[in-house]
Structure 1
Amino acid sequence: MIVRRNLSWRGILHYTWKSLLYYLLLAVAVYLAHDHYQVAYLSMPFNTVTIFSTALAIFLGFKSNNAYERWWEGRKIWGLLVNYSRAWTRQVITMMIPEIEADAPAVKELQRRMVYRHIAFVHALRVFLRIKHAYNETDQEEIYEEANRYSDIQAFLLEDEFQAFYHKNNPPNFLLELQGEDLQQAFKRGWLSDYRFVKLEDTLVEFNNIQGMSERIKNTPFPRQYSFFSRVFVFIHATLLPFAFVSELGFATIPVSVVISFVFLALDLVGERTEDPFENRLEDVPLTALSLTIETNIKEQWGDEDFPVKQTTQEGIVL
């Protein structure tokens, strides 16, 4: 997530230089053909482009608003995960009560296992959402590198749990199943009453809901017709601009058309770079920072002071 107020022009040019080069070369070509070579029929009515510009601005505004809604929904979902993670840790610590003193060490170990398993769930969900679907060899390599990050979760799981977890089709969901099994065992052994069991199970269901809502955003792309036609319309609009300006502005056609085209291009890119918040890009929801926040909170509640290194802002970016 970009947190600095001023964006880097180097980064902006990285995504726009090809289009800007096209706008510049086209404007220069139209100006030279019209003013120096006197090519007829190169100009067009300005009102035509004005109407097109108005319609395109409305279309891009609609796209950007809906793309931002997807981003903001993703951030709210992970905000819920932060809140419920704190509640889960508190409930596990305070609601599991041994019936006899001899069971106290076993209860303490079960609590520790469930608390740290939840840290593993949070990190696993982050990695699971960021894994890309492969369509070529390059993407397959990216998947392999991202999947290897599951190795960071090994410290929070028992060895047999990690081996089973690593080969599951949906690793985060597998961890929730293990949590449910441990709750059942605690209930059978009398460490949880009916009411406390239901309350913990309700919190576990909320984690299922959070994962499901995250997967819905991840697996349901922004309607591709909006993305496709916005690119087409921005291209057509930028192509027509020099022809509308050349008879009125002359040489000024070049900078004016390039600047206006850049504005519409930027609006299109803002929507495109915002619509998928879990792709591990600069503009996405900062899942890594949120995961580390949850890990820190849970460890503090448990009494473990081995906190993860807090992620620092690098060049105005939080991942």
Structure 2
Amino acid sequence: MIVRRNLKWSFILHYTWKSMLYYVLLAVVVYLLHDYYQVFHLHLPFSTITALSTALAIFLGFKNNNAYDRWWEARKIWGLLVNYSRAWTRQVITMIIPDDPLEAANAKELQQRMVYRHIAFVHALRVFLRKKLPYNNPKIQEIFEETNEYADTVAFLMPAEYKVFCHKKNPPNYLLELQGEDLRRAYNRGWISDFRFVRLEETLIEFNNIQGRCERIKNTPFPRQYSFFSRVFVFIHASLLPFVFVEEIGWASIPISVILSFVFLCLDLVGERAEDPFENRLEDVPITALSLTIETNVKEQWGDKNFPEAKDPGRGVIL
């Protein structure tokens, strides 16, 4: 997620330079044909672009609103994960209580295993939702210092669990299954009552719901017709602009048409970059930072002072 108030032009040009080059060349060619070769029929009436600009602005506004709704829903889902992670840790610590003092050490071991396995679940869910690092641009690539690999879970799982975990098609779901099995063992040994067992199981179900809602956003793309036609309409609009202004303002039609085309191009790109919030891009929901927040909170509740190092947003981006 970009937190810098002012965006770097190097990032903007990385996504727009091809289109901008087309806009500039087209505007120059139209101007030269009109003024030097006297091709007067190149001129179009101003009302043509006015109607198209209005329709395009409405279309892009609708697209961007719905794209932002997807991004904001993803952020709210991970906010719920933060809250339920704190609740789960508290429940494990306070509700799994053996009657026999001789079993206190075994119960403590079970609690620790379940607490740390949840941290592994959070990191596994992050990796499961994201793709590999997609950037070839060194200026953007240098921001990504994370590996986005399941190796981030090694420290929180038993070796045997991790070996099986790595071969699962849905690793986060496998960890929830292990949590349920440990709950059953604690119940069978009398460490939790019926009511407490139900409450803990309800929290596990919430983690299933959170993962399912994330997968729904991940696996259901924004309707492709909106993305396709927005690109087509922006291209048509930019291609017509030089023909509208060249008769009225001459050489000034070059910068004016390029600037107006750039505005609509950016509006289109804003929606396109926001519609898929789990693609490991600069504009995505910062689930790495949220994962580290959860890890810190859970460890603090357990009494572990070995907190993860927070990512520095010095470059204006929180991953």
**TM-score of the alignment, normalized to the shorter chain, above 0.5:** yes
SS of 1:11's equivalent? helix
Matched with 1:7 is 7
Residue in 1 that maps onto 2:119: 119
Distance 2:205 2:94 in 1: 19
1:282 aligns with 2:282: yes
Q: Give the aligned partner of residue 102 of structure 1.
A: 102
Taking structure 1 as the reference length, the TM-score comes to 0.95
Q: Which residue of 2 aligns with 1:313?
A: 313
**Which residue of structure 1 lines up, in the alignment, with residue 139 of structure 2?**
none
How many residue pairs get aligned? The number is: 308
Whether 1:272 aligns to 2:272 is: yes
Residue identity in the other structure for 1:313: P
Mapped to 1, the partners of 2:147 and 2:25 lie a distance apart of 44
| Mapping of residues 5-154 of structure 1, within 5 Å | 5-131=5-131, 149-154=149-154
1:184 counterpart letter in structure 2:
R
Q: Measured at CA, do residues 45 and 148 of structure 1 come closer, stay the same or move farther in structure 2, by a change above 3 Å? A: closer
Structure 2, unaligned runs of 5 or more: 135-145
Q: Does residue 213 of structure 2 align to residue 213 of structure 1?
A: yes
Secondary structure class of the residue paired with 2:243: helix
Q: For residue 301 of structure 1, give the secondary structure of its aligned residue in structure 2.
A: helix
User: Root-mean-square deviation (CA), in Å?
Assistant: 1.4
CA contact (8 A) 1:67 1:222 kept: yes
Q: Which residue number in structure 1 is paired with residue 258 of structure 2?
A: 258
Cα distance in 1 between the residues matched to 2:72 and 2:87: 23
Listed one character per residue, the Cα deviations across residues 93-118 of structure 1 (whole Å, up to 9, x for unaligned) are: 00001010011001000000000000
1:138 — aligned with what? none
The 2-side partners of 1:68 and 1:217 are apart by 12
**8 Å Cα contact 1:131/1:147 also seen in 2:** no
Shift of 1:131: 3.0
Conserved 8 A contact 2:30-2:243: yes
Q: Distance in 2 between matches of 1:288 and 1:300?
A: 18
Aligned counterparts of 1:89 and 1:148: Cα–Cα separation in 2: 25
Find the residue that maps to 1:41 and give its secondary structure. Answer: helix
- Paired with 2:8 and 2:131, the residues of 1 have a C-alpha distance of 27
Deviation, structure 1 residue 245: 0.8
Q: Match for 1:34: what amino acid?
A: H
Distance (whole Å) between structure 2 residues aligned to residue 99 and residue 148 of structure 1: 42
For residues 98-247 of structure 1, what are the structure 2 equivalents within 5 Å?
98-131=98-131, 149-247=149-247
- Residues 311 and 148 of structure 1: is their aligned pair in 2 closer, same or farther, counting only changes over 3 Å? closer
**Distance apart, 1:155 and its partner CA:** 1.1
Q: Is the 8 A contact 1:26 1:239 kept in 2?
A: yes
Counterpart CA distance in 2 for 1:32 and 1:293 is 58
CA contact 2:131–2:280 (8 Å) conserved in 1: no
Using the alignment, how far apart are the partners of 1:14 and 1:107 within structure 2?
A: 55
Once the two structures are superposed, residues 15-52 of structure 1 have per-residue CA deviations (whole angstroms, 9 ceiling, x without a partner) of 11111111011001101111111013100111011000
- Regions of 4+ moved over 6 Å: none
One-letter amino acid matched to 1:86 = R
2:249 is aligned to 249
**Identity, % of aligned pairs?**
74
d(CA) in 2 for partners of 1:239 and 1:148? Answer: 41
Report if aligned partners of 1:277, 1:285 keep a CA contact under 8 Å in 2.
yes
Which shifted more, 309-318 or 192-201?
Answer: 309-318
Answer yes or no: is the 8 Å Cα contact 1:127–1:147 preserved in 2.
no
Instruction: Supply the distance in 1 between the matched residues of 2:15 and 2:314 (Cα, whole angstroms).
Output: 20
CA contact (8 A) 2:4 2:317 kept: yes
